[in-house]
Amino acid sequence: MMNRIAPGSGGMLARAALLLALGTALAGCSVVDYVKGIGGSDEDGEEKAELEPAPLADFSAEVELRKVWSAGVGNGQGKKFNRLHPALDGDAIFAAAADGTVAAFDAASGERRWKTDVDTDVSGGVGVGGDLVLVGDTGGNVIALESASGRELWRARLSGEVLAPPAADWDVVVVQTLDGKISGLDARTGARRWTHDTSMPLLTLRGTAPPLLSEGVAYAALASGRIVAIKADVGTVLWEARIATPQGQSEIERAVDIDGRPALVGQGIFAVSYQGKVGGLSLANGRPVWARDASSFVGVGAGFGNVYVAETSGTVSAYEVAGGALRWQNEQLARRSPGTPVAVGSYVAVADFDGYVHLLSQVDGHVAGRGRADSSGVRADLLASGDLLYVYDNDGGLKAFRVGTR
């Protein structure tokens, strides 16, 4: 059986959660004794001291987070190291909890439209597209619900765990499973149309990047550090290209998984790998646009002509979409496990392991605002629409904040 490792992460609580996920993931497999970035020994064999998360830096507040509404969704991320992401679709926002709760809310008011229990432990979601809301479980099942009512429409069994939101349009559902397979399902029935099997490294992180669907093409970021473009209706591979190349002698050193959500920006797709690169590829043919050294297991954001990256070290960086020049870096979130950056207004928001949401200027990266969503922490991707920022905390609190000047 393939070994899987959890990535290094800032913060003692976050690291403990990652190690818990490692133990769960490796049930029945050989456990990796050393995980890069978590503990370990120096060259003399002495145990490395645990580094504390950087303290919250003082700043001059320019913008505030004002809570608009709050709602509960089951047990949230549950006891495993899940990353269950909410999803926006029109005027609705959808969220799922590890205990099987799936719910829809009015994005403006927070009024609940429906709630259902899919009667399984959810590990991947939420995906939306067409008239479907989609979640997956560790048994490899994809469950499709009607977006207007929450009524279950179909279930489909795949070959591996579903740890990322499926992508969908009115015709096809695209799912990437932990065993490296990408599958296309009929959106009406769940019947399998095609499967693309990718080459998996001997050792990978326990995670999967959400596939993207755009203009009939599915884009999937892989554990090998590559991105593949597939004609979504029939499964024909259009191109496959590399974001990051494995380096080093050991399998741990050579891990270059892309686990976070890529971003489609203009005519390119941008992604970041663990201990590899951040870069872009042409949508037309997969040719490299640019690449820079980086390491992250969360996704990338975009705004103001920038691509934003939150690295495993905690550094948040902005690179120009055109050319990849470094515009700015903010190192004040060191070891705080910042999540996927999201642009909201003139700011880029990142949430950390301790539940704080930091608002950085898109112009130069300085901290312009901060608020605490919940002490349970935030692993799910943030969402933004207009001046509203949506946060789904680890305990199942789905909250909308308005980003406004003081």
Per-residue pLDDT reduced to its tens digit, 270-318: 999 999 999 999 999 999 999 999 999 999 999 999 999 999 999 999 9
Q: Sorting pLDDT into bands at 50, 70 and 90, what band is 388?
A: very high
Sequence-distant contacts of 103-110: CB under 8 A, at least 24 apart: 103/71, 103/73, 103/74, 103/150, 104/133, 104/147, 104/150, 105/71, 105/398, 107/385, 107/388, 107/390, 107/400, 108/388, 109/69, 110/68, 110/69, 110/70, 110/71, 110/398, 110/400
| pLDDT score for 256 | 93
Per-residue model confidence as pLDDT tens digits over 120-145 = 999 999 999 999 999 999 999 999 99
Q: Sorting pLDDT into bands at 50, 70 and 90, what band is 50?
A: low
Cα 27 from Cα 79, distance rounded (Å): 16
| 63, pLDDT greater than 60 | yes
| 150, pLDDT greater than 90 | yes
Q: Residues 190, 193, 197, CA angle at the centre, nearest 5°? A: 110
| pLDDT score for 80 | 86
| 165, pLDDT greater than 70 | yes
Cα 317 from Cα 328, distance rounded (Å): 6
Cα 162 from Cα 346, distance rounded (Å): 35
Pick the more confident residue, 406 or 54. Answer: 54
- In terms of Cβ atoms closer than 10 Å to its own Cβ (0-12, 13-18, 19+), residue 41 is exposed
| pLDDT score for 203 | 84
Per-residue model confidence as pLDDT tens digits over 5-33 = 433 333 333 333 333 333 333 333 322 32
Helices (H) and strands (E) in the chain, counts: 1, 34
User: What DSSP state is assigned to residue 29?
Assistant: S
AA identity, residue 165: P
Pick the more confident residue, 258 or 206. Answer: 258
Per-residue model confidence as pLDDT tens digits over 209-246 = 999 999 999 999 999 999 999 999 999 999 999 999 99
| pLDDT score for 95 | 98
Check: CB of residue 166 under 8 Å from CB of residue 183.
Answer: no
Per-residue model confidence as pLDDT tens digits over 303-357 = 999 999 999 999 999 999 999 999 999 999 999 999 999 999 999 999 999 999 9
Q: Whose CA is closest to 24, among 74, 77, 79, 76?
A: 79
Cα 247 from Cα 276, distance rounded (Å): 8
pLDDT, the chain, mean = 89
AA identity, residue 136: G
Helix (H, G, I), strand (E, B), or coil: what is residue 141?
strand
Q: Percent of the chain having pLDDT more than 70?
A: 87
| pLDDT score for 238 | 98
Per-residue model confidence as pLDDT tens digits over 74-102 = 999 999 889 999 999 999 999 999 999 99
Q: Whose CA is closest to 65, among 305, 390, 394?
A: 390
AA identity, residue 338: P
Region class of 179: left (phi > 0), else alpha (psi between -120 and 50), else beta: alpha
| pLDDT score for 12 | 37
